[in-house]
Chain A
Amino acid sequence: MASLLHPDRVLYLVRGQKRIRAPLSQLYFCRYCSELRSLECVSHEVDSHYCPSCLENMPSAEAKLKKNRCANCFDCPCCMHTLSTRATNIPAPLPDDPTKTTMKKAYYLACGFCRWTSRDVGMADKSVASGGWQEPENPHGQRISKLIEYYQQLAHREKQERDRKKLARRRQCMPLAFSQHTIHVVEKYGLGTRLHRQRPGAPIASLTGLSLKEGEDQKEVTIEPAQALDEVEPLPEDCYSRPVSLPEVTTLRQRLLQPDFQPAGASQLHPRHKHLLMKRSLRCRKCEHNLSKPEFNPTSIKFKIQLVAVSYIPEVRIMSIPNLRYMKESQVLLTLTNPVENITHVTLAVCEDDDPDDVNSTSKVLVPSKELVLAGKDAAAEYDELAEPQDFQDDPDIVAFRKSNKIGFFIKVVPLKEEDTDVTVSFRMRHDFRNLAAPIRPSEEGGDAAHEAVWLTHHVELRLGPLAP
């Protein structure tokens, strides 16, 4: 049954700040700390921006300028699909000779999914294939930019006041020259790029990053306060009696995707530039090593650093479940796969009665007490005909089959709860991990010293499904 292989069936426990249970395929393994990490216990950093449809890379400064949108690609305002440019031939008079007409190419945007075209909103066909399409301007754009400028100045002035106060306590020197120095100091202590934390007393701290350069003369920017109007435009008279024509009304989602205009009618839905996506790199919070670093090129899906848990930790998967009955012992077949190239020894243990991690299990489990030996993953094994199969003495009661780096083994499960929920089983898995990344310290006797094996224990939870009726 394919549903047995679903990743959500087997969860590994991550002991971070929060206890998170996640399938092994979604976890990372810090081999310096020798611990599992989930997405919530790592810090995310933006690596690069790229457009998902034209795969164009964009440096972060440019992305900020363009408000994280691609310059060439558009989104359909109706169904959010990517718009494609189509061409038609229209007869147009030649510039030299007005009487003759020649076929000129006219381009329009069309959506392949919902068949929206740029002609639906009245946008004229352009004669250039790309670059001719303009987004409509925000009517409040000027006022907003003026407000931003004013507040930037205000933040800058406040920061200078703070510097001056600090300097007045220390020494009496030229405030301007030293404020350049203290800006760096403040940024180092207060507004670190990686560990950016908002201090409670600095609400406009985020704007100081956009401040004007030091030496520039600052023009005084004044803003007029917003004026409240007494009279509001009255509603149209047929507001309550006019029947609503549903195809003409925009849905909330379509409306809110354009927060500048929020058009109520479908004839005012203009296409917007496509949002950029970003590649992110993950960093362990404890040891500050990178766990995942993607390639810079948007067309490449590979990673420069990829410390995912599936390549270090043996993976448990459910192979077959018999009919589970309340208070009756049944045998479940599980598989263990060894991801590394050397032999791994795995010991399973039942969770203690007062184990704080053992929250979800609803059944008693009996795991094999003997140590399971997993062969290393050998990529060339299928091509090597002369290789002798390694002889592991397997107890047929425990080990069902063995296939290169995978074994199938039995556990005995006794469901303890008669309710309708899934039968869940948890146990602890202890295996040896050789840190190949750490440098080998030369031993005193000389010769190659093998990597020290570290024994790691993981808490594994399995969801076996409902009781048989």
Chain B
Amino acid sequence: MTDDATRTLGKGSIPPGPVPEGVIRLYSMRFCPYAHRTRLVLRAKGIRHEVININLRNKPEWYFTKHPFGQIPVLENSKCQLIYESVIACEYLDDAYPGRKLYPYDPYERARQKMLLELFYKVPHLTKECLVALRCGRDCTDLKLALRQEFCNLEEILGYQNTVFFGGDCISMIDYLFWPWFERLDVYGIADCVNHTPTLRLWIAAMKQDPTVCSLLTDKNTFLGFLNLYFQNNPAAFDYGLSC
């Protein structure tokens, strides 16, 4: 069980108090891939943090004071500073906290990771569209083709680099930024989209062995339970799998 296994806050909930010193708070949702990026970075860097899960179908009124459109993830520190957009939040954490740097030190290598992120930009949208199409019983052949093409591009890069991870031989920021969507391929029903990309499959296997990735893996049945309720528009979806 991860440290974010708490019930969501929804409409009518009491706004949380200020963030205690020495801790950073993440407004999140257990199944959101964007928030997953931030949770990976918090864990990888060993940053003391607390998680408040938000019910995205029944957002608390006070949450709009944290984000103008009520989106997640949002970081809040003990100085009441708010940071949003998952990539900006991840970079902020890497800059603000000591210890292991997830972005490389070399400016050119940093730029390369940011260019790789640009190459990835169609993947979140395409994976979501595939999921929705499959869940609504629609044909998603074209979508899957488009997604496979994106994966081919990533496969080419790994092949050209001849490294295990996208940033080199060790896992780094770019790998964590990509990971959440790859973790979801199976439960979304589109794992076959990596059938023609063996190097990408090796990367997936290597990622699953990373202690940080491992510690935040969501089990398939829990995820399916969430998806089933989510597509029935049931606001209880977000708390699926919590015992209390």
Are A and B bound to each other?
no
Question: Which A residues are closer than 8 A to B by beta carbons?
Answer: none
